[in-house]
Amino acid sequence: MHNRAVTLALGCLILLVSACSSGIDQADLDAANQQASDLQAANDTLRGERDVALAEAAELASDIAGLDARITELEEDLADELTGTEELEAELRAASAEREAALAEVESLLLAYDPEIQAAKARISEEAIPLACSLGTQAALDGGSAPSASVVISQLEAQETIAGFEVSDLVDEASVLAEARRCFDEAKLDVALYGPHGNGFFTVGVEIGPGLWRSTGTGDGCYWARLNSNQGILDNHFGNAGGTVRIRSTDFEVEFDDCGTWEYVGA
């Protein structure tokens, strides 16, 4: 805009000079002078506005530099505070871990030596071990899986808190689980040995138990045989079903065929 004003002013001066040399009248000369004066005033105004704008820009640049310095200072303060917070959190975690370890040590000592707790552990164990066996046996008979220690503990009658300890804290879970598993396995074997048997070969003591067995069939094509380890026949029968056979513990195997279902009678 400044360049434009200068250009217009020069143009007016050229017109003024031309007018003087060509005999332009005084009115035209006065008008040209007024136009040049107005353009000079406009140019001065624009220069003033430019100077003000440049001063404001310089002031704003100074303010921005100050804000940048403040932001940097705040970021450094924040980093210092975060570092301090992390150190405090680390100390807190360490103190909490030390506290938990101390509590665990106290609990361990109480469980090992406190007379009241020892008496409670013995009393609860007397209930827990038989219950574990009972639940294990029933699970096998029902065709389920061996119960966990937590299942056994949840069914104990004694569920009160003793000297600040829950019943689960006073029970030897490994012993409870071992008893439940032992009784489960025994009962499962009994089911396999003494449950109903149909046609097939059955190893004595593994797939069928010794004792007296009775068939429930009604046909006349029933065959059974007691065998030794060499598959030699110790005793056998062919004919009517519905009879009995006594399997000896010294037998190796028995064979049943078309006799119906065999049911255990007793030892």
3 and 106 fall within a common domain: yes
pLDDT at 185: 93
**173-177 long-range contacts, Cβ below 8 Å, gap at least 24?**
173/149, 174/149, 175/125, 175/129, 176/128, 176/129, 176/132, 176/149, 176/152, 177/132, 177/148, 177/149, 177/152
Q: Which residues of the chain have pLDDT under 50?
A: 1-2, 4-6, 8-9, 12-13, 15-17, 19-22
pLDDT at 5: 47
202 and 179 fall within a common domain: no
The answer to whether 219 and 258 are in contact (CB under 8 A) is yes
pLDDT at 166: 81
Residue labelled with tokens 């005793």 = 235
**CA-CA distances (angstroms) from residue 135 to 147, 155, 161, 170, 228?**
7, 10, 24, 20, 37
Identify the CA nearest to 238 among candidates 256, 252, 265: 256
**What's the CA gap between 240 and 223, in Å, rounded?**
8
105 and 19 fall within a common domain: yes
Residue 49 lies in a domain: yes
Condensed to tens digits (0 to 9), the pLDDT of residues 148-171 reads 999 998 888 766 666 677 877 888
Residue numbers of the domain that contains 98: 1-113
186 and 206 fall within a common domain: no
The answer to whether 257 and 264 are in contact (CB under 8 A) is no
157 and 168 fall within a common domain: yes
Three-class SS state of 203: strand
181 and 248 fall within a common domain: no
23 and 92 fall within a common domain: yes
Residue 118 lies in a domain: no
Residue 120 lies in a domain: no
pLDDT at 17: 47
DSSP state of 215: E
pLDDT at 20: 45
Three-class SS state of 158: coil
pLDDT at 160: 64
pLDDT at 155: 86
pLDDT at 6: 45
Mark which of 113, 147, 166 sits at the end of a domain: 113
pLDDT at 95: 74
pLDDT at 84: 72
The tally of domains found in the chain comes to 3
Is this prediction's pTM over 0.75?
Answer: no
238 and 138 fall within a common domain: no
| Those residues with Cβ within 8 angstroms of residue 157's Cβ, 6 or more apart along the chain or in another chain | 127
Mark which of 113, 139, 162 sits at the end of a domain: 113
